[in-house]
Amino acid sequence: MKEIQRILSFMRRALDDYQMIRQGDRIAVGVSGGKDSLTLLTALSELRRFYPVSFTPVAITVDMGFKGADFSGIAAYCESLGVEYHVVKTDIAEIIFDVRREPNPCSLCAKMRRGSLHAAAKEYNCQRVALGHHFDDVVETFMLNLFFEGRLGCFSPVTYLSNTDLYLIRPLIYAEEKDVQYYVRHADLPIYKNPCPEDQHTERENMKILLKKLEADNKGLRHRIFKAICKGEVDGFHL
């Protein structure tokens, strides 16, 4: 499909710029079922056919335990791609919403999901974990850290986790959300609606709206912020 070519171009540049993959790596792809993770999975599946470094993607979904969760569509899609697929059963939703009744659940939820994903990656003999964060996520994370923590920081393109001996990689950092949305509109992906009651009611969503407003009056703002992150070599980014 020609629509994936733009995503592949961005992905290959990120992989090369940050040397994200080594020969023979098994890469655990965190697949939530949203547009970003499914685009990441599809692009990695396509890229393995011609990328000079041989690797094997392994799709992993962390089932948070919401009632009625059905990942059969994702399972069938992975089978069509020829990608190994695993679902990790957890009680995260029950712990956060029923037991602890967290008033601000996102941080703890993210931590628990990461822990489950990393444990599964080790169980299935993966050396890398690929996450679907894209260009807009980079800018939004930087601005959230600036606004709410008073620091210049972001996630890194590549992160080594010494406690698990895993590398986190983010191959979509050069792809804008609009590029992902364009691809998704032209692809038959088994998008899984996030059942979390906090979905789209977060500070990140508010920052996305704010940046959209600022961009309307300052064309190219997000690209200038991204360039500043790279020029400042914030958390491993570079030009």
Share of the chain above pLDDT 70, in %: 97
Distance between CA atoms of 169 and 27, rounded to whole angstroms? 9
Distance between CA atoms of 20 and 167, rounded to whole angstroms? 9
Q: What is the pLDDT of residue 122?
A: 98
Distance between CA atoms of 58 and 181, rounded to whole angstroms? 23
- pTM for the complete prediction? 0.94
Q: Nearest-CA neighbor of 72 among 58, 59, 87?
A: 87
Q: Which residues, listed in sequence order, are joined to residue 29 by a DSSP beta bridge?
A: 59, 130
Neighbours of 140 (CB within 10 A): 24
Q: How many residues does the chain have?
A: 239
Question: Which tokens in the block code for residue 151?
Answer: 């620091």
Q: Please, what is the average pLDDT of the chain?
A: 94
For 132-149, write each residue's pLDDT tens digit: 999 999 999 999 999 999
Residue 156 · residue 25 · CB < 8 Å: no
Question: Which tokens in the block code for residue 17?
Answer: 């710029």
Angle (deg, nearest 10), helices 135-149 and 221-231 = 80
The answer to whether residue 25 scores a pLDDT higher than 80 is yes
- DSSP type of residue 3: T
Q: What is the pLDDT of residue 200?
A: 62
Share of the chain above pLDDT 90, in %: 82
Q: What is the pLDDT of residue 1?
A: 62
Q: What is the pLDDT of residue 201?
A: 64
Cβ neighbours of residue 99 closer than 8 Å, sequence gap 6 or more: none
How many domains does the structure of the chain reveal? 1
Q: Which residues, listed in sequence order, are joined to residue 160 by a DSSP beta bridge?
A: 167
Cα Rg for the chain, rounded, in angstroms? 18
Distance between CA atoms of 40 and 30, rounded to whole angstroms? 9
For 45-75, write each residue's pLDDT tens digit: 999 999 999 999 999 999 998 888 899 999 9
Distance between CA atoms of 54 and 58, rounded to whole angstroms? 14
For 116-126, write each residue's pLDDT tens digit: 999 999 999 99
Structural domain containing residue 20? 4-236
For 87-116, write each residue's pLDDT tens digit: 999 998 888 887 877 777 778 888 999 999
The answer to whether residue 2 scores a pLDDT higher than 80 is no
Mean pLDDT of the region 233-239? 96
Q: Where are the beta strands (DSSP E) in the chain?
A: 25-30, 55-63, 84-89, 128-130, 158-161, 166-169
Q: Nearest-CA neighbor of 158 among 60, 237, 83, 227?
A: 237
Cβ neighbours of residue 22 closer than 8 Å, sequence gap 6 or more: 53, 127
CATH number of the domain where residue 124 is located: 3.40.50.620
Q: Torsion-angle region of residue 150: left (phi > 0), alpha (psi -120 to 50) or beta?
A: left
Q: What is the pLDDT of residue 3?
A: 79
